[in-house]
A = this chain, B = another copy of it.
Amino acid sequence: LEQVNPDVPSPGIVIPIIHWLGTPQMFWDSDLGKSIETIAYSLYRKPNPELEARADAIIDMYEKLQDEDGYLNSFFQRIKPEWKWTNLRDFHELYCAGHMIEGAVAYYQATGKRKFLDVMCRMADYCVRKFGKGPGQVPGYCGHEEIELALVRLARVTGNQAYMDLAKFFVDERGQAPNFFIEEAVAHNRDPKGVQKNTLEYNQSHLPVREQTKVVGHAVRAMYLYSAMADLATEYNDDSLTAALETLWADLTQKQMYITGGIGPAESNEGFTDYYDLPNDTAYAETCASVGLVFWASRMLGRGPKRVYADTMEQALYNGAITGLSTDGKTFFYDNPLESTGKHHRWTWHACPCCPPNIARLVTSLGSYIYAVADDEIAIHLYAQSEARVVLANGARFTLTQNTDYPWSGAIDIAIEPETAARFAVSLRIPGWARGAKLAVNGQHVDLAVDADGYARLDRTWQKGDRLALDLPLEPRVLRANPRVRQDAGRVAVMRGPLVYCLEATDNGTGLNSILLQRGLGRAETAAIPDLRGAIAIDLPALRENAETWGADLYAEKAANTQTTTVRLVPYHLWDNREPGEMLVWTRQATQ
């Protein structure tokens, strides 16, 4: 906070300048923005005067720090003013503004206080003047996308179309020729090949966004870009953006996504590599990237319910994102491998601490991902114990309450309590995996008419006391990967409902690759896991190769000595919360 507080001396460079000629210290404002956003969601649900006072104090600092013209960035104001706007590609100035705007919007919505919103509107106004193709304006955009989706949020809450248009400008300009980042590098006498990964694909500026067909580069950057594109497709009814997004969505989910919803297998670029290249033990699959995938999937629902997006949103949420957080909430995974020899554990802190506030703001704002409303309809995208108070544009006012301990059980009771009887539709997502789902309305079973988008739509006049009972079967499922994924060859993953399961050494001993699941899985039993608050384990019969009887040879002409056993699988998102040790998602399966 010394960097932000104009009343104390600047701390100077605390984290050294590294190879890309910047320092993670440049992103500190973004972490404060995400933290204020998280505090806002938390205050919305439960008042906490101490926390609110702390946020207010930080906001006061920023207000005081802001330049006359609206410019606000503690690093470039207090530490390196001469670097201001010299390197949009690497220096994250607009990215920081974006996270501050998101924080300001959320804080205003939670508390009704306008101060931070006004501060960030002045910064946004500054950007509206600064960026564009007019005389004296900068025709550029940020190397790390984020400002775009933030400006959409700011436009929605303020009604100021200039912010929306600036978001559209940033998205439309990205990747146009001549490439802005090359021109910028040349103008500042830097090698236009760049120091970061040597490629425009890294920040998705290699092509105009509507011409992009392959998901490339830094995974978080990509997700934030596509999120903004989806928002703008909704706001401008822009089918050309939607078409590009549908292509990119298929590219990601059919060729480049872990079964956990983890994305970006490589540490080297924190991002994407080749199609079907999904190594398990070295998977990077940054927590933030799965959070970003939840953001994107959620925004793909902006033009109406579609199971293909909501299913993946749920998959990434439960398996890619919340895995990042330990059950005690104190430690964080930055990267999320699908196999571990026992050395991978959650951090208490990280030099680039983007993931903790990102997962925190997602978890605290979960409500906004569960429901979506249109003029005369409410869609339930996710199932979770929750209560929503809804006013539709058609005048219907009602409370919708889900009673469930999903995803542990598939029984979901939904109470709809209109103030007065009202007509509107309730669309229930029937997950793609939920074969044999059943629905009852007020105790009467009804035919489950699932539409092409994967939702059961109940359009009726709702009365006080109406009750829906949805039953999603949670039989364990065995999934195989496309044979092109070489790392998963001969292996299967077990899922139950939306949850990916894994083996842990604490339940099964070491040497998890010695375990062979049966073809057809065999008789599965479920059981509550001690110490994991109601979580459900799956116990399966299996074969196991005996390492004890093998002998000392490293290589030998020997057959496998297998014996039957029972193995326990636990939800992947809960791994590394008990005795630390080996973990394995993709498990070998007998071939015949």
Interface residues of A (CB under 8 A from B): 250, 253-255, 257, 259, 274, 277, 279, 281-282, 341, 477-487, 489-490, 493, 511-514, 516, 545-547, 550, 552-560, 588, 590-592
Q: How far is the CA of A489 from the CA of B514 in the complex (A)?
A: 7
The 8 closest A-B pairs by CB, nearest first: A489-B513, A486-B513, A483-B547, A592-B592, A483-B545, A479-B555, A590-B591, A591-B591
**B-side contacts of A279, CB under 8 Å:** 281
Q: How far is the CA of A391 from the CA of B484 in the complex (A)?
A: 60
B514 touches A255 (CB 8 A): no
Chain B nearest CB, measured from A485 CB (Å): 7
B557 touches A478 (CB 8 A): yes
**B-side contacts of A277, CB under 8 Å:** 341
Chain B nearest CB, measured from A522 CB (Å): 14
A556 touches B480 (CB 8 A): yes
A254 touches B553 (CB 8 A): yes
A553 touches B483 (CB 8 A): no
Find the B residue at minimum CB distance from A516: B591
Find the B residue at minimum CB distance from A545: B483
Chain B nearest CB, measured from A306 CB (Å): 17
Chain B nearest CB, measured from A295 CB (Å): 21
B591 touches A555 (CB 8 A): no
Find the B residue at minimum CB distance from A512: B486
- Number of identical protomers: 2
**B-side contacts of A514, CB under 8 Å:** 483, 489
Q: How far is the CA of A250 from the CA of B551 in the complex (A)?
A: 13
A560 touches B590 (CB 8 A): no
A554 touches B253 (CB 8 A): yes
A479 touches B590 (CB 8 A): no
**B-side contacts of A480, CB under 8 Å:** 555-560
**B-side contacts of A489, CB under 8 Å:** 513-514, 545, 588
**B-side contacts of A486, CB under 8 Å:** 341, 511-513
A556 touches B591 (CB 8 A): no
**B-side contacts of A490, CB under 8 Å:** 490, 513, 516, 588
Using known A-B contacts A489-B513, A592-B592, determine if residue A479 contacts B547 with beta carbons closer than 8 Å.
Answer: no
B592 touches A547 (CB 8 A): no
Chain B nearest CB, measured from A447 CB (Å): 24
Task: List 12 extra interface pairs beyond A254-B554, A259-B554, A489-B588, CB under 8 A.
Answer: A250-B552, A254-B553, A255-B554, A257-B554, A479-B555, A479-B556, A482-B553, A483-B514, A483-B546, A483-B560, A484-B550, A516-B591
Partner of A484, one of B511, B588, B592: B511
Partner of A555, one of B259, B341, B557, B592: B259
Q: How far is the CA of A483 from the CA of B479 in the complex (A)?
A: 25
**B-side contacts of A554, CB under 8 Å:** 253-255, 257, 259, 481-482, 485
Instruction: Name 16 interchain pairs, CB-CB below 8 A, sorted by A.
Output: A259-B555, A282-B282, A480-B555, A480-B556, A480-B558, A481-B554, A482-B547, A482-B556, A483-B545, A483-B550, A484-B511, A487-B513, A490-B513, A490-B516, A493-B555, A592-B592
**B-side contacts of A478, CB under 8 Å:** 557
Q: How far is the CA of A482 from the CA of B257 in the complex (A)?
A: 32
**B-side contacts of A553, CB under 8 Å:** 254, 482
**B-side contacts of A282, CB under 8 Å:** 282
Chain B nearest CB, measured from A436 CB (Å): 14
Q: How far is the CA of A282 from the CA of B282 in the complex (A)?
A: 10
**B-side contacts of A559, CB under 8 Å:** 480
Using known A-B contacts A341-B274, A341-B277, A588-B490, determine if residue A557 contacts B477 with beta carbons closer than 8 Å.
Answer: yes
Q: How far is the CA of A555 from the CA of B491 in the complex (A)?
A: 12
**B-side contacts of A485, CB under 8 Å:** 554
Q: How far is the CA of A591 from the CA of B588 in the complex (A)?
A: 10
**B-side contacts of A513, CB under 8 Å:** 483, 486-487, 489-490
Q: How far is the CA of A254 from the CA of B555 in the complex (A)?
A: 8
Partner of A483, one of B250, B253, B511, B557: B511
Partner of A591, one of B257, B477, B558, B592: B592
**B-side contacts of A560, CB under 8 Å:** 480, 483, 591
Chain B nearest CB, measured from A341 CB (Å): 7
**B-side contacts of A512, CB under 8 Å:** 486
Which of A341, A481, A489, A556 has the most chain B CB atoms closer than 10 A to its own CB? A489
Q: How far is the CA of A341 from the CA of B487 in the complex (A)?
A: 11
A555 touches B481 (CB 8 A): yes
Partner of A482, one of B341, B483, B555, B588: B555
Q: How far is the CA of A439 from the CA of B480 in the complex (A)?
A: 52
B483 touches A552 (CB 8 A): no
Chain B nearest CB, measured from A492 CB (Å): 10
**B-side contacts of A481, CB under 8 Å:** 554-555
A557 touches B588 (CB 8 A): no
**B-side contacts of A588, CB under 8 Å:** 489-490
Chain B nearest CB, measured from A264 CB (Å): 15
Which of A250, A277, A479 has the most chain B CB atoms closer than 10 A to its own CB? A479
**B-side contacts of A253, CB under 8 Å:** 554
Find the B residue at minimum CB distance from A479: B555
**B-side contacts of A477, CB under 8 Å:** 557
